[in-house]
């Protein structure tokens, strides 16, 4: 649970760093047309998929480590 919380804190910190500059013309055009929400949804879906994949991969690795007896 601490891993998930720390990932989200880092993600929001990074988003705050990039959100400082509001004079981007492309973003203004996307905002006016309402397409910015589609872009944000796509980014969120991609990040959620990557996080899901990483957590399932971590779970599988832990199972393999238990099976092997933790031998190095």
Q: Residue 13 corresponds to which tokens in the numbers above? A: 């910190």
Q: What is the distance between the alpha carbons of residues 52 and 55, in angstroms, rounded to a whole number?
A: 5
**Alpha carbon separation from 20 to 29, 31, 36 (Å, rounded):** 18, 16, 17
Query: What does the domain layout of the chain look like in residue ranges?
Result: 23-62
pLDDT at 3: 77
Q: What is the distance between the alpha carbons of residues 53 and 47, in angstroms, rounded to a whole number?
A: 10
Q: What is the mean pLDDT of residues 7-11?
A: 73
Q: What is the distance between the alpha carbons of residues 32 and 4, in angstroms, rounded to a whole number?
A: 34
pTM: 0.56
pLDDT > 80? residue 39: yes
């Amino acid at each position: 649970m601490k891993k998930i919380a720390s990932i989200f804190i880092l993600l929001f910190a990074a988003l705050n760093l990039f959100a400082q500059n509001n004079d981007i013309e492309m973003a203004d055009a996307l905002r006016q047309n309402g397409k910015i929400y589609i872009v944000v949804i796509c980014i969120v879906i991609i990040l959620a998929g990557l996080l899901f994949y990483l957590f399932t991969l971590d779970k599988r690795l832990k199972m393999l480590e238990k099976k092997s007896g933790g031998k190095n």
